[in-house]
Amino acid sequence: MTEKRVTFTTDQIAAYAEASGDRNPIHLDGEFAKSVGLPGVIAHGMLQMGLMATVAAAAAGGPERLRRLYCRFAGMVEPGDTVRFAAETTAPGRLVLSATNQRGEAMLTKSIAEFA
């Protein structure tokens, strides 16, 4: 099994917003996020998926071997949350992926990768 633990920070989330161009205020402005019913700033789903992809690539033997990556966004990641991203080979060319926070809650579900 390949895994990586990441503790999310507001700086990391802001840097991803700048790099990706996704400056939705739910990722940058805690007061705005609360005004729309969120607990505060939340991390981008694609930031989480990108981190998952690095774990999948390592488990597959390199990013050039990945052919398909799929996941469902299932939970909100807030600054201070630590997420464990993991990949396990379950069949030739197939990985089952998981992302759970420090409370054991799934952040990404139905997550798989296929590789050559």
pLDDT reported for residue 111? 97
Spans of all domains in the chain = 2-115
Q: What percent of the chain has pLDDT over 70?
A: 100
pLDDT reported for residue 68? 97
Return the CATH architecture of domain 2-115.
Roll (3.10)
- 90: pLDDT confidence band, cut at 50, 70 and 90? very high
- 100: pLDDT confidence band, cut at 50, 70 and 90? very high
pLDDT tens digits, 9-53: 999 999 999 999 999 999 999 999 999 999 999 999 999 999 999
Torsion of CA 48, 54, 60, 63, to 10 degrees: 120
How many whole angstroms separate alpha carbon 16 and alpha carbon 26?
Answer: 13
pLDDT reported for residue 65? 97
User: Comparing C-alpha atoms, which of 34, 52, 50 is closest to residue 42?
Assistant: 34
Map residue 101 onto helix, strand or coil.
coil
pLDDT reported for residue 60? 97
Mean predicted confidence (pLDDT) in 66-91: 97
Helices (H), 21-89: 30-35, 45-60
Residues 80, 25, 11: CA angle, nearest 5 degrees: 35
